[in-house]
């Protein structure tokens, strides 16, 4: 089982349910922690279409880097499908499935007598990312998200090492 992970992460959905037929752009800006990267930062965006008030699909891309960006970075992107279920006027349950092509550098930290040295392993492939969570909506396009992110390497098992776990973050929708 993967170690526990707390990550500030944008969930990339509007804070309330979708409006049928809407095209949306959801930027990501996040900071967090996971066993693979330590403290890491995420920048990205999703472009999507709301099929109805609960179901949406689109394409997203992101860039993530950790404590040593030259040895620890992840670039990914691909299609997603998300489902939102309003529970109350301010609380929304959400489920999102992504299939991302991922290009990452896994950091390797080595302690020596002269200090800490970093290197990396480069890994590429396709990963499945499933997120389930709850949104607390402050406004229609801004809210707090909490949940779990499960990463499974589909073509390379190294893509999911230490990258699954709980998340906490803010959602911004345009």
pLDDT score recorded for residue 15: 42
In whole angstroms, give the CA distance from residue 16 to residue 56.
Answer: 13
Average pLDDT over the chain reads 81
pLDDT tens-digit readout, 133-157: 888 888 777 777 778 888 899 999 8
Cα–Cα dist 165/158, whole Å: 16
* Torsion angle in degrees (nearest 10) through CA of 11, 88, 57, 6: 20
pLDDT at 49: 96
Task: For residues 96 and 100, give the distance between their C-alpha atoms in angstroms, rounded to a whole number.
Answer: 12
DSSP label of 85: E
Which pLDDT score, from 0 to 100, does residue 32 have? 66
- Find out whether 127 and 150 touch, Cβ atoms under 8 Å: no
157 in Cβ contact with 121 (< 8 Å): no
Return the SS3 of 147: strand
Which residues on adjacent β-strands are paired with residue 84? 94
pLDDT of residue 107: 80
Secondary structure of residue 159 in the 3-state scheme: helix
Question: Percentage of residues in the chain with pLDDT exceeding 90?
Answer: 30
pLDDT surpasses 60 at 117: yes
Dihedral-angle region of residue 36 (phi above 0 means left; psi in -120 to 50 means alpha; beta otherwise): alpha
User: Lowest-pLDDT range, 72-81, 113-122, 133-142?
Assistant: 133-142
> How far apart, in whole angstroms, are the C-alpha atoms of residue 151 and residue 123?
15
Using the structure block, give the residue that is written with the tokens 């179901």: 55
**Does the predicted model carry a pTM greater than 0.85?**
no
> Which pLDDT score, from 0 to 100, does residue 12 have?
37
């Amino acid at each position: 089982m993967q170690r526990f992970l707390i990550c500030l992460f944008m969930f990339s959905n509007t804070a309330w349910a979708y409006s049928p037929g809407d095209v949306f752009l959801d930027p990501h800006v996040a900071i967090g922690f996971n066993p693979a990267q330590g403290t890491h930062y995420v920048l990205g965006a999703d472009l999507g279409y709301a099929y109805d008030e609960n179901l949406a699909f689109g394409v997203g891309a992101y860039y993530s880097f950790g404590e040593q960006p030259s040895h620890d970075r992840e670039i990914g992107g691909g299609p997603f499908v998300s489902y939102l279920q309003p529970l109350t006027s301010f609380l929304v349950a959400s489920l999102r499935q992504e299939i991302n092509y991922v290009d990452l550098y896994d950091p390797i930290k080595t302690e020596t007598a002269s200090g800490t040295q970093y290197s990396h392993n480069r890994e590429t492939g396709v990963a499945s990312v499933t997120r389930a969570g709850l949104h607390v909506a402050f406004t229609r396009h801004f809210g707090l998200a909490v949940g779990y992110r499960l990463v499974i390497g589909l073509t390379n098992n190294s893509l999911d090492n230490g990258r699954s776990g709980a998340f906490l973050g803010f959602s911004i929708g345009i």
